[in-house]
Amino acid sequence: CTPTKPGSATLPFFSIVPAIVDLNGKEIEGPGNGILVIKKPWPSIARTVVGNHERYEMTYFHKFKGYFSTGDGCYRDQDGYYWITGRSDDMLNVSGHLLSTAQVESAVVEHKAIAEAAAVSSPHPIKGECIYCFVVLHNDYELTPELEKDIKDRGMSN
**pLDDT-based confidence at residue 158 (cuts at 50, 70, 90):** very low
Q: 99 and 82, same structural domain? A: no
pLDDT (0 to 100) of residue 56: 80
Last residue of a domain, one of 34, 63, 88: 88
Question: Residue 3 half-sphere exposure, CB side, CA atoms within 13 Å?
Answer: 4
What is the number of structural domains in the chain?
2
The stretch 67-82 carries a mean pLDDT of 90
The stretch 124-128 carries a mean pLDDT of 90
Where residue 5 sits, what CATH number does that domain have? 2.30.38.10
Looking at the DSSP bridge assignments, the partners of residue 75 are 33, 83
For 49-58, what is each residue's pLDDT tens digit? 888 888 888 8
CB distance 138 to 115 below 8 Å: yes
Q: Kindly tell me if the per-residue pLDDT of 155 is higher than 70.
A: no
Last residue of a domain, one of 88, 105, 135: 88
Q: 80 and 12, same structural domain? A: yes
Full residue range of the structural domain in which residue 77 is found: 1-88
